[in-house]
A and B are shown apart, each in its own frame.
Chain A
């Protein structure tokens, strides 16, 4: 049985003029995360396992994101585009009605679908926790779909199977599993593919030359799939220094 995960985000939020929430005070981070978990959990047939508030500080700006993880909507963890639109609109209405929110850039729905292969990782969310090779394909359009449905003629399982078969033809490439993420935001749908726990010619950390070769091979394999287009193939390879590191993937 393929595994699915639903995450929703309120992106680049300004809350009571703040883009960094402090530990104490009326608008402390725990208060805002808890308040929003309660607010969105009130949406009919929508359950949220946890809410997180993340603040990032760069030279250019501070950024605040709220995320709701391990969600279900109408008892589903992978949504139809109709349900995704409905859920997004409900969250947008909550944020728009909150006078504490000065602005936000978007509400997005991220639907993850993994194939039946064993996989230790879970795509971009795990980037700091892996030691190895991952591959992403961005901007996928499959049979003119930019949001893959759980059923229908060109459903996400068929898509995963086709991509798996195409990548299996690449000599030297091994991988544990494939996931596909359908994102629904104010612009439109967006699909990307993640290939987890990969190795190429026995290596999990590649030279730039090997990465370039692999990127070309993947593009050729994907080009063999009928009715599939994409914007970009991305190779990501990571290595840890061997220090013990706590896993954050399972909250």
Chain B
């Protein structure tokens, strides 16, 4: 564990920005910058996330600051909601800085009908979604590829599903961060064990906080941008949260182990063993980036396959016209490392529980969104709202074009289970009109809404800090939990 950082050394440097100076600890190379108001800051200093962000500030090659988003909470190595950008080519990359669920992320689908029109079939839709999308641990999906196609999918992402299986559309791929394909992916860098874990899991949700949620757009904050995203008040939407499943978990496991073994060779000394890292230019760093890209492409293909299952379910429950009119708004990653240009420098931006939020004008965005900015989706929890945001102009300078990724936990899973049972929570949500399908009562209780921070406050701080702007609020109608 790292040396302790005194919260009393935090300096307020903006309305919603706090800084822990680099001089706070002898091993910090840059300051820690926290985006929060007073209330969120009180929660942040209550766990070890600030200490973990200070540990990240010790990474060789880190530039500007170790960042903590408003939803930051204690993780392992990096805090969840932490961002570090390192110089290329010799700054380090840390597999733990991306996390085990490589390219965990969120995809939003918009249905061509209102929530009121959906209401008579809502329960049937949620029930059929729970049957169509395998949830829970392991669980094998319906989509199977041959070994050659699987390698191609690791290199190229979801476009392979469109071209080889007719699953999804080319427009879905275009409306995915990075076109659903990180360059440099090398299937040979992915271990046999990682392949074995992931091979049958395409189109599966996984467990923990993963979900598929049916929602209603209950408020529009920015009509112009909402129009560009194809969203209108009262509309029904489906939000998908999943990642790279066992394949990504094993890639991270493999490379944390490798970097832990070799970092001394590069003279790297770390305050937390889980920060294990190596220079990007080293053989280990290059291999990790190639394997991580493959896992990232797998994750985009996984959410693409889940979205296909959603459309097929909509077809069965609501008809062919509803399925044909269901369009993908966008898909964002929130656990990933990417090479990006910021301030004239090429950097390796490592986002752990943090979402890219590029403003209007970025070449990285699909044509349809270039004039308004990148869509960002911030899931709340089962009983609270989720938000659609758009990257704000200042985000590039403030946060390497990054914002938060969710509400952020503030209660442990054990504490959540002590406060409510899964059965009680099902009844409470039902009383709010929210249909729930979850294979595990304890698993449901662990994800209770009160275990999370107030998402409304988190996105308000995001907006006040200038990282992103609110576009729409989405209310849950039905949830399928992993």
Chains A and B belong together in one complex: no
Q: Which residues of B contact A (CB under 8 A)?
A: none
